[in-house]
Structure 1
């Protein structure tokens, strides 16, 4: 029975990776598609490949994000069926919130849905929640990363405007449209480095609960490739509802602004993967960056009403996913 439960929970973890892929695929390619630098089909294929490569690269260079997920948020789930119920519940809560926000086209964070699910299932089951770790590894980066993205993207866009102030607009547009191919690939790579590691982390939680790993165990190759392929498959499926919000509803992007937003977001993702390992949200970073480049036009260029709705979704994601996870835990635990 426990073996069947472990297999089921691992499959659900890979299902979360899939929803992460189609929910967050817009993060990497929305700006490139909206500026017509890439066609949707080519952009999704490129993002899927770079996500898979990012999954491998992130683990080879330390796997700091996966470690941040498996330790420091909640205490390790107990071995046996109860531990598997906890991991199943946190995943079910995260997937549920991902699907709700995807349906309404809100670019919320799969990362914070996962962390919220961990907190909710942890509290409902009596595990210890490390609130200091939640603040340092989740809440603080959630507050700072979009602000940093906004400021850096604004500064980079101002520099681009100054550097090309006398250039022919048509040539500038064509040049940055080609440059966006590189910046979009960089963004997709960063998404794979960050988000695939989170999926690996929850698979490792399932293995810990099943007694096949500890919090200090390395990530097996099959976990790496199954998580990477799941998130890539989800990316290839596309997240068109979220893509429309990021690419068109916040601001009408042009290629220079799309390039600036993607470049800054990629750099922030690499910094938080390798320099200061933290499970940050690609959604928050790219959205903040898009707002930053939009603010260089004029204050009214950014549709602040849409931005406020997105920020509200950010704020409620952690508690909403926590509630969803707790609502799954109580009946499932009663049954098993």
Structure 2
């Protein structure tokens, strides 16, 4: 890490350190803002003492970040077009980073203070979109180019559908438990069990499931939300010092060769499917040097992009040997080829076997661009894990007592937590960011409806209002802050 940063100007280095501190502070806030949801049911049902629950949750969040990969991280990074990140000067890069982080932190702290289970995911994504749109307006770029709208739509769908799925699945799971085990003690609330049996804790098996599912929620939360922090840091690094982080400079010769081979095989793939793809990609209509002066990720520029990339990577065994501008070019070429390949994979007419080959080629193409240094992963894991251990009480009270008109039963806690762990785990598999807050809160609400406990209208309205307002508010706040920041950087 220190070797990479040793050649930077002092003011760039100071700005970079401040930006990284902002990201880690955001993750710390995310820890006590979001992860309270992971331990809310296990604390409320008295399955575990609060101090032990939050410590274990912090540990599992830490492990989730370390073992979660970077798929979700780059779903966040790719919300902004790569041209926007590598073509702005350092001053504008800093303005973008600090604006989106300040907006996200302000909204998270505000909703946490009032005990509202709002979504850090919505906040972060809204802030990134706001900065992207503001940058487009200020630089006279088309709004369609200011944000990666396809990626934004994919993420938006996951954020909208996941709470609905959480509501429905948790409700069905509770109905199944009531049907199969109608007389079980799991259908008692902690207050009822204490009054009837004089016991403080849930029955053993219910307690075990509550504890295990809570730790599972913490782990998948760390994996999903922790990756958002990793994505933010990579956004900072690529935006402020692109020459050092647009490619993994620790890539081995084999990894670089694999990238080059994937590019060559991609060209062969397109030639093999010329009858289907020739017109869409304009194959054979441009020569190898026929790239426009202002490079764009256009499918019809695929063939010259492949040729330019192969020429740049010829005889390259170490990315560090490439000049800074060439590294930026390589990343741009790779990301554009990957983006086009993704679009090609959705076209009709390609056999399933060919689409499977294309997916494998895409993974090899991005192997040296979608990465995160270990120090980045460790720092985010530490910030999220420590943040988990403080500030959890406000949201625990809301989830446990203020969503339904009656207290939560053990079965409801289990149904909501199991649903949340599975839903977020599936989102991790498909590299989609989702909201732990909304999935779990929706799951609790679903169990309340299934249990005919009723919902507290005031709390539900507050949560829904936060769900609706978070995205536009964070977008406007980040856009406004970015506009102000650009007044100072010129």
Same fold (TM over 0.5): yes
> 1: distance between equivalents of 2:58 and 2:235?
25
Question: What's the secondary structure of 1:89's corresponding residue?
Answer: helix
Quick check: 1:292 aligned with 2:324? no
Quick check: 1:136 aligned with 2:146? no
> 2: distance between equivalents of 1:147 and 1:239?
25
Equivalent residue for 2:435, pick from 274, 281, 285:
281
The residue number in structure 2 matching 1:213 is 245
5+ long unaligned stretches in structure 1: none
Quick check: 1:202 aligned with 2:356? no
Equivalent residue for 2:78, pick from 71, 77, 93:
71
Task: Please state how far the C-alpha of 1:230 moved relative to its aligned partner.
Answer: 0.5
> 2: distance between equivalents of 1:109 and 1:39?
26
Contact 2:78-2:151 within 8 A present in 1 as well: no
> Could you tell me the TM-score, scaled by structure 1's length?
0.93
The residue number in structure 2 matching 1:250 is 403
Task: Please state how far the C-alpha of 1:132 moved relative to its aligned partner.
Answer: 3.0
The residue number in structure 2 matching 1:19 is 29
Task: Please state how far the C-alpha of 1:163 moved relative to its aligned partner.
Answer: 2.3
Question: What's the secondary structure of 1:106's corresponding residue?
Answer: coil
Contact 1:47-1:235 within 8 A present in 2 as well: yes
Contact 1:54-1:193 within 8 A present in 2 as well: yes
Contact 1:2-1:81 within 8 A present in 2 as well: no
The residue number in structure 2 matching 1:334 is 487
Task: Please state how far the C-alpha of 1:173 moved relative to its aligned partner.
Answer: 4.2
5+ long unaligned stretches in structure 2: 1-10, 187-192, 247-330, 332-368
The residue number in structure 2 matching 1:85 is 95
Question: What's the secondary structure of 2:68's corresponding residue?
Answer: helix
Contact 2:79-2:129 within 8 A present in 1 as well: no
> 2: distance between equivalents of 1:226 and 1:332?
27
Question: What's the secondary structure of 1:150's corresponding residue?
Answer: helix
Contact 2:134-2:482 within 8 A present in 1 as well: yes
Contact 1:51-1:188 within 8 A present in 2 as well: yes
Contact 2:59-2:385 within 8 A present in 1 as well: yes
The residue number in structure 2 matching 1:183 is 213
> Could you tell me the TM-score, scaled by structure 2's length?
0.65
Quick check: 1:236 aligned with 2:389? yes
Q: How many residues align?
A: 330
> 2: distance between equivalents of 1:178 and 1:217?
38
> 1: distance between equivalents of 2:50 and 2:477?
33
**Aligned CA distance change for structure 1 residues 73 and 210 (closer, same or farther; 3 Å):** closer
Task: Please state how far the C-alpha of 1:301 moved relative to its aligned partner.
Answer: 2.4
Quick check: 1:160 aligned with 2:190? no
- Output one character per residue of 1:8-63: Cα deviation in whole Å (capped at 9) or x when no partner: 1111011111111111121100111111111111111011000000001111xxx2
The residue number in structure 2 matching 1:307 is 460
> 2: distance between equivalents of 1:308 and 1:145?
19
- Output one character per residue of 1:223-281: Cα deviation in whole Å (capped at 9) or x when no partner: 0000010011111113322221112110221211101110010000000001x221111
The residue number in structure 2 matching 1:29 is 39
Contact 2:79-2:128 within 8 A present in 1 as well: no
Question: What's the secondary structure of 2:35's corresponding residue?
Answer: helix
**Aligned CA distance change for structure 1 residues 44 and 167 (closer, same or farther; 3 Å):** closer
**Aligned CA distance change for structure 1 residues 168 and 279 (closer, same or farther; 3 Å):** closer
> Looking at CA atoms only, which structure, 1 or 2, has the larger radius of gyration?
2
Contact 2:427-2:434 within 8 A present in 1 as well: yes
